[in-house]
Amino acid sequence: MEKDITELKNCPSIERVHEILVANVETPSFPYITALLEFTIPQLFDSIRDSKILIQTFQTLIGLGNLLNRISTRQEQSELYISILECVFDESLALNLVKGNPSPVEIREINKLVFKGKALAVVNEATTLSSIEITSECFKSTGGYVEYLSNSLLKLYSSNTRSDIIEEFLHSTLKFGDASSGLLCSIFSVHEKVSKERLPKSLFNNYIVRIAPNSNLNALFNLLSFTSDVFDEMVIESIIQTANKSLTQVVAMILTKSDDYDFLVNKLITKWSNSTVIKNEPISIQESRTFMIMQLISRRKGSALTKDLLTNKQFLNAINNRLSSFSNNIKALGVVLVDYVCELNGEKKIFSLAPEVDTYSSLMVPNVDITELPAHDCWEALKLKETTSPIKIESKQDVSQDLDDDDDDDSLPPQTDVADPIYVKQLIEYFSVDTSNQNAYEMRRKALLKGPTLLHQKYRYGTEVHFYSEELLALLIGLDNHFDDKDFNELKLNNMVAVIVTNPSITTFMFNLLLTGDYSLQQRVLILSATLMAARQLRGFSPTNFPSQTLPEPLHRKYLELEGGSKYIDFIENEVQKELLADASAEAQDQLLGSGKVVRVSSRLKRPAKSTETPTAGFYTIIGKLFYFPLLNVWYEAGTIDIGHYSPVYIGHYIKTLALLIHCALHSKSVSVSWELLVDDKLKSVAAGLLLRLQKLESSLERTIMDQSNSIIT
């Protein structure tokens, strides 16, 4: 196990992690669980979240205890660990915890963690402190947790777990108060003969009705046949009200074991013939009642009950009452039933199926064969789900792709399927792969495409992104387009933006590279573009739809490559200018049209609504500290910007970036302070004096100006 723990700390592959999990699932140790929580889960959570072996590992006492401890002590990673805990609390948790004949000390610990509610308390505290959204029903409320515990106790009872263990867990669960007593009593009353009368209505109407349509009906019959002696008119009536045909079939199968079978059938026919019921009951319920009668009498085919129906006065009165109705649907139900009775008795049908009668012919379904099955086989049958393979319709695009495959050159080596990077360290390896490597193109392409997603998935968990950010960013800045990909600059920029967004403190390192590194104009502009786009993304601004995207794709790519990413800054600048000038422009346009002009729509209404996206938490504390002032300091430290012939171009983009960062930082306290410092106090006083003199001059010459204005008008 020591070797496995060492491997987990050194970024193993997904396949190797699975092998280690399988090898240690039965006997996990404390160091092994710690390695999983500290390294494997934060690094590979999205890749192994569905691993059943991982869940089984934490369905042990040592695994569950350490997982709950991490949730309560690691607030910054509590969302990750709660996601795992929600998977751990499934229907098999209790069985896995008590298997292997646990000692009294272990039983008390299981009782404390699960049945006394420590897990619920830990989750409630973590979600309150970190505002985490819970998806598992058992942790959403105390009632949901008690329901989960009740089902777990029932599982333990069914698996013949020691009675002393169940009793201890049951007493702890009952201490939850009113939320537990009613539910637990109703569940465990199944084992008390005196309480069986209260079971069927709740059991069938609240649970079986939901699973019957997709379940093996014979398996349900075998598991529920013990309820046959407690069915009465009220219970059967509640089954009819559900209008669930699968549930009706199961109940009819169960009633074959009842001694009151014939009595219940006659009671149903009596109500079915009642003229008041015929007139007032919804047709859907009448259809359900008819189906129940048909299912019951079909189980008595050839018996005296079925043979005597055609001469039974009550049955004939029922048919007469229905045929006398003005509703075709009510008539049809009577015709369907009487014809079905004739069919069961081997006699010729009395009525021919009219179109409205044929609508209800679906009620004539064959009986489900009753076969005795052991309980284990019944549970297994209920777990099986019928699946059908979807029909794939071949599209025109698929056909064209198949035709293209015929032109492939067989002399070329087969394309290698390069795995997606799952670690940031692996992402760096893909970017830095030797170009002479046979899979170099596929590896670099995978890294460019998958890099941003991988970084956004991992930065919330662990320290992997923070640890490798500097190495990854330096590698991206110096990465060249060796394979001449048309979208290389765009993908490279996306990766740089992802690095900055997931670790904003990396900007100080990046600006130091900008100050001291020997980079080309294109690389420097790319750094400025990544800085600005990351700041806007953290601010909550939506990506801009660039004008060139309305061009054909090849022209759009060519347009973006003209200045190596500088067009992104220009586009953002234009959008900001439009936004800032929108109010003034609309007002000027309305004034030019004049008050006497009638227009269809004001220009103000044509403007798009302002974005209401909210910035990332803490954005206003980092925009100045990590973006604006460090970038401004680069210029200050350099003294001047001189990169040769292209210095004016670079300076222009530098100033634009600073200005747009100020736009991102609007409503930040540092912006107002900085704005006051931009203008010298002496200049402020001179400007104030000039305004004062202009005001005095206007007052002294006001009458002269008015006289001249009047003379011009006259």
Q: Is residue 332 part of a domain?
A: yes
**Of 358, 383, 408, which residue is a domain's last?**
383
Q: 712 falls in which pLDDT band (50, 70, 90)?
A: low
Q: Is residue 503 part of a domain?
A: no
Q: 407 falls in which pLDDT band (50, 70, 90)?
A: very low
Q: What is the pLDDT of residues 643-683, one digit of tens each?
A: 888 888 899 889 989 988 888 887 766 666 665 666 667 77
**Of 319, 353, 383, which residue is a domain's last?**
383
How confident is the model at residue 670, as a pLDDT?
Answer: 66
Residue 551 has pLDDT above 70, yes or no: no
Of the two residues 119 and 355, the one the predictor is more confident about is 119
Q: What is the pLDDT of residues 322-331, one digit of tens each?
A: 888 777 888 8
Instruction: Choose the most confident range, by mean pLDDT, from 165-169, 495-499, 568-572, 614-618.
Output: 495-499
How confident is the model at residue 120, as a pLDDT?
Answer: 92
How confident is the model at residue 353, as a pLDDT?
Answer: 52
Q: What is the pLDDT of residues 160-211, one digit of tens each?
A: 888 788 878 877 887 775 444 444 444 544 444 334 454 556 667 766 777 7
Q: What is the pLDDT of residues 273-295, one digit of tens each?
A: 888 888 888 888 888 888 888 88
Task: Please compute the mean of the pLDDT values over residues 110-125 and round it to a whole number.
Answer: 92
Our CA dihedral for 321, 322, 325, 329, rounded to 10 degrees, sits at 170
Task: Please compute the mean of the pLDDT values over residues 230-250 and round it to a whole number.
Answer: 85
Q: Is residue 202 part of a domain?
A: no
Residue 132 has pLDDT above 80, yes or no: yes
CA distance 141 to 124: 9
Mean pLDDT check: name the lowest of 499-503, 577-581, 646-650.
577-581
Mean pLDDT check: name the lowest of 240-249, 257-266, 380-389, 507-516.
380-389
- Do residues 54 and 21 lie in contact, with contact meaning Cβ atoms separated by under 8 Å? yes
Q: What is the pLDDT of residues 298-322, one digit of tens each?
A: 888 878 888 888 788 888 888 888 8
Burial of 572 (C-beta count, 10 Å sphere; 0-12/13-18/19+):
buried
How confident is the model at residue 586, as a pLDDT?
Answer: 64
CB environment 316-331: b (16+ within 10 A), e (fewer)? eebbebbeebeeebbb
Give the global pTM: 0.55
Q: Is residue 624 part of a domain?
A: no
CA distance 145 to 255: 35
Q: Is residue 341 part of a domain?
A: yes
Residue 544 has pLDDT above 60, yes or no: no
Q: What is the pLDDT of residues 358-400, one digit of tens each?
A: 566 677 777 888 888 887 787 777 766 433 334 344 444 444 4
Q: Is residue 100 part of a domain?
A: no
Q: Is residue 240 part of a domain?
A: yes
How confident is the model at residue 675, as a pLDDT?
Answer: 58
CA distance 245 to 214: 12
Q: How many domains does the chain have?
A: 2
CA-angle at 540, arms to 537 and 541, nearest 5° = 75
Task: Please compute the mean of the pLDDT values over residues 581-594 and round it to a whole number.
Answer: 62
Q: Is residue 313 part of a domain?
A: yes
Domain with 700, as residue range(s), is 681-713
**Of 356, 383, 410, which residue is a domain's last?**
383
Cα–Cα distance list, 78 to 31, 132, 359 (Å): 20, 8, 57
How confident is the model at residue 32, as a pLDDT?
Answer: 93
